[in-house]
Amino acid sequence: MSKILLFNKPFQVLTQFTSDDDKATLAAYIDKPGFYAAGRLDYDSEGLLILTDNGQLQHQLANPKFKLEKTYWAQVEGAITDEALKQLSEGVTLKDGLTRPAQAKRMDEPDVWDRVPRIRERKNIPTSWVELKITEGKNRQVRRMTAAVGFPTLRLIRYSIGPYTLDQLQPGQCLETEVQFVLDESRPETNRKRRHPHQKQPRRITPSKHGRKRKAP
């Protein structure tokens, strides 16, 4: 078994434990030696980040060739059109190439936490929400995709990675669990461990008011 942490990364937090400037890092929320982020999530994006203490699992979770589906919720400027959704679904040409076909659809505004600071909205220009499911990880891909079809992203939340989701996690919270890891060069298998009815619940770790970590009962 390998251990993973499911972490809801807040806005304007680096996906690393050290920084050369004053930007916030994972160290402000996670005190688990030996765990490292499997993949990246931009400083100005929010949502699910997976950390693990297994180097091979870290590689498989982060490597785009394993095509682990990621779901993003993007709040965009303007009322997204059917044509834009079609373009996103078929693939968008970016400077570094054509994106793989994605699953794109309109969605209602999700019931999530307020972002601090709030997005900058322009008067007389509506915003809308789009759900995007992609299987690759180009740099700032979702933002570039929505901008390419005429609807710049104002807020971006990663909701899921493979079978793992943000459910029950508020910003700054993380959940420790275990996975059965099988090294497979063609396809990753990282299934959540099934819990026996009498097994203890996974530990949820939340930051205290003073930035130190405390384990929830």
Which residues are annotated as catalytic?
42
Cis status, amide bond into 163, omega within 30 of 0: no
Q: What is the DSSP string of the chain?
A: -EEEEEEEEPTTB-SSS--SSS-B-GGGT---TT-EESS---TT-EEEEEEES-HHHHHHHH-GGG---EEEEEEEES---HHHHHHHHH--EETTEEPPP-EEEEEPPP--PPPSSPP---TT--EEEEEEEES---TTHHHHHHHHTT--EEEEEEEEETTEE-TT--TT-EEEEEEEEE--SS--EEEEPPPPTTSPPPPEEEE-TTS-EEE--
Calpha distance 113→172 (Å, rounded): 11
